[in-house]
Chain A
């Protein structure tokens, strides 16, 4: 990898400890005790993060298969070096940016965010990354730009899921400009101070913690600023099930399951369910973005 985080979890706590969920609390305490590590603290939750093992072995990344263990099993062959991102559309400085260039001048900080999947399970993940707005400001957002469109890498030789029919690749996602500029919206390059694992979207992915997980597009190769609402993969596939906004909202059910509650992963067989909070608990930071909008219609 081309960057180094300012600090690594492995420097403050042995790796074996953060692999063990029970010891996470101790690690978090160490983090709080050290002032140098408090960056991003205002946006981080104080809930105990999931173990690195849970985060890296249970997730959806259909480019590697439909099963939750497929990404961990099949993402190993993905080459993420060299990596570049095309930034185009309504920007002042369009171009193909090498990853090192994208990261230049950005401070990688830790953000411990709740993560809520549309399938009604959830985790807490300590991401490392920087605010998307910092990158957008660097390339210059033109006044006409209203949306940001993202694309994932298209490379079927290394992404076996892209050989399966059913989804029109590459994976596409998008945000409205105010959502993209919100300080919660992160471009993440690591987890637990380690470079982003392939199965979690290496080398760089989006994290939008108040939206369902599928909005947080992985392995980004293109960022386009547009005037019109971009097409997004799940919405193209099932428009009545997945909307453009996809804000976490217990009041608006997915047609096939309720969104009122979620199953926290990592607590074992008897972890039970907890109530889902609107905007995944980030209402204070983002509810105002949707003032006047009917979120049952704009789901």
Chain B
């Protein structure tokens, strides 16, 4: 574990940003070479949503892993921002090439379709978090207020995972797996709190 942490300390966070951009680069490449499959719109929209969820879940795993001894805190911002970046692109693809800028249908779906409402709620909750993802914002807001605001990550990521489950016409294993992961990572946050209380009691 110490060896791992030593290596992690030397790893600059731009490496995470760079590695996190690889799926995006591959998707752009596939789009340009026309190899996104017979339905390139979904071929773009779905992986973007899925990568968004993956990075958001990774950011959610940082704190529990820290309690297990692995120091990943300095990468948390990169993971969260990467997640937001993919979700933003996912949303953009939906509005543009999927819904073809048909605004009346877009607005209709945003208020009428449960899985869109839930996904959109997740996205909206992520916006203030992305906007305050800087040392400057933490200083400006004060650490406590910043932390309170960033608790929004929990409902946001949960919404993203629920949104995925709601899309399937039947229950699908992969979407339930993601939701299960989110549930475990959120539940993990409850355990140490109780422990600490026991210790002080």
List residues of chain A with CB under 8 Å of any chain B CB.
53-54, 57-58, 62, 66, 68-69, 121, 166-167, 237-238, 253, 255-258, 260-261, 263, 265-266, 268-273
Contacts and interface: CB of A to CB of B under 8 A. Distances in A.
B168 to A, nearest CB: 7
B149 interface: no
Given A256-B114, A260-B105, A166 B171 contact: yes
Given A237-B170, A269-B44, A54 B108 contact: no
A63 B153 CA distance: 38
Interface residues of B, number: 28
B36 A166 contact: no
Contact of B34 (A68, A268, A273): A268
B152 interface: no
Nearest to B167: A256
A62 to B, nearest CB: 8
Contacts of A58: 37-39
Interface of B: 31, 34, 36-42, 44, 97-100, 102, 105, 108-109, 112-115, 166, 168-172
Contacts, number: 61
Looking at chain A's contact residues, the main secondary structure is: loop
Given A237-B170, A266-B38, 8 more contacts: A58-B37, A256-B166, A257-B109, A258-B108, A258-B109, A268-B40, A269-B97, A273-B100
A68 B113 contact: no
Nearest to A60: B169
B155 to A, nearest CB: 22
Nearest to B171: A166
List 5 A-B pairs, minimum CB-CB distance, nearest first.
Answer: A58-B38, A272-B100, A166-B170, A269-B40, A273-B100
B44 to A, nearest CB: 7
A57 B38 contact: yes
A263 B172 CA distance: 24
B159 to A, nearest CB: 16
